[in-house]
């Protein structure tokens, strides 16, 4: 077997084994009606994907996650550059950032629902809150990790502070920002689903709650599978974008023999 296809072959075997185990456990009735068989779940899923409500929920979930991720990225990088570049700003915001760092979005979910209601705006706010801080902190680390010799060299060539920020500091911080975005992308999807599941926001989370409330476990499992596939697509798209944006970085250069 060629080395290039071996990981995919073993991944396919792992997935097949997981479905066989699932089918056996469902046939053994280990969890009663709470664990329908894999064949029943996929039969229901085939019906669900033919409905307009399913695709509306998928579009709402992806739209909220991507929009919030874009807002968090833009604001997070801008704040990170500002905080990382000026010592006075860093000290002024340090206590607030350290206070907010351990606060997960689900903690402020009741407050967000109280203020914004079970709406798309509420979900958008929660996702931005959940993704913003990691991007800010990673950008600050990237700015502070900029080689001082490179900055001094840029000054010796007559560059102003703004040009140094754009041509030296920001490229130096890009690997940190790329890592933050790769972590934030799946988190954006997860928080969007939580906002729908527990807060009543639009999207697949709300569909899962409705399936659970109706005791429709086959639909519930089917929607969870859809979310898993979406998560893989988010992760893959983020890795691809990171590789393209940071093609110049040493970690993505191909070794030429």
Choose the weakest-confidence range: 34-38, 52-56, 144-148, 246-250.
Answer: 246-250
State residue 253's pLDDT score.
61
pLDDT at 162: 86
Dump pLDDT digits (tens) for 108-143.
888 999 999 999 999 999 999 999 999 999 999 999
Higher pLDDT, 29 or 126: 126
Q: What is the pTM of this model?
A: 0.84
pLDDT at 255 over 60: no
More confident residue, 56 or 8: 56
Contacts of 241 (CB under 8 A, 6+ apart): 181
Mean pLDDT of all residues in the chain?
Answer: 88
In this model, does residue 3 exceed pLDDT 70?
A: no
Decide: 234 and 68 in contact? Cβ < 8 Å.
no
The pLDDT, as a whole number, for residue 2 is 63
CB 68 within 8 A of CB 128: yes
Q: How confident is the model at residue 43 (pLDDT cuts 50, 70, 90)?
A: very high
Half-sphere exposure of 111 (CA within 13 A, CB side): 8
User: How far is the first Cα of the chain from the last one, in angstroms, to the nearest whole number?
Assistant: 24
CA 85 to chain centroid: 27
User: According to the model, what pLDDT value does residue 1 have?
Assistant: 58
User: Quick one: which of 68, 181, 69 has its CA closest to 122?
Assistant: 68
pLDDT digits (tens, 9 = 90+) for 84-117: 988 899 899 988 888 888 888 888 888 999 999 9
């Amino acid at each position: 077997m060629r080395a290039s296809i071996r990981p995919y072959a073993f991944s396919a075997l792992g997935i097949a084994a997981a479905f066989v185990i699932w089918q056996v456990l469902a046939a053994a009735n280990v969890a009663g009606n709470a664990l329908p068989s894999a064949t029943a779940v996929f039969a229901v899923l085939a019906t669900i994907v033919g409905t307009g409500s399913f695709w509306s929920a998928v579009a709402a979930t992806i739209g909220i996650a991507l929009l919030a991720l874009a807002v968090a990225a833009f604001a997070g990088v801008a704040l990170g550059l500002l905080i990382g570049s000026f010592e006075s700003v860093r000290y002024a915001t340090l206590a607030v950032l350290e206070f907010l760092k351990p606060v997960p979005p689900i903690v402020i979910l009741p407050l967000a629902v109280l203020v914004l209601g079970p709406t798309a705006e509420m979900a958008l706010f929660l996702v931005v809150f959940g993704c913003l801080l990691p991007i800010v902190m990673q950008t600050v680390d990237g700015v502070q990790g900029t080689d001082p010799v490179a900055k001094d060299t840029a000054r010796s060539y007559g560059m102003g502070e703004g040009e140094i920020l754009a041509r030296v500091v920001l490229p130096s911080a890009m690997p940190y920002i790329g890592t933050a975005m790769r972590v934030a992308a799946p988190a954006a999807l997860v928080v969007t689903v939580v906002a729908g599941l527990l807060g009543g926001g639009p999207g697949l989370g709300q569909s899962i709650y409705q399936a659970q409330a109706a005791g429709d476990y086959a639909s519930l499992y089917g929607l969870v599978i859809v979310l898993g596939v979406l998560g893989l697509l988010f992760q893959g798209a983020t890795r691809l974008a990171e590789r393209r944006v940071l093609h110049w970085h040493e970690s993505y250069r191909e070794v030429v023999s």
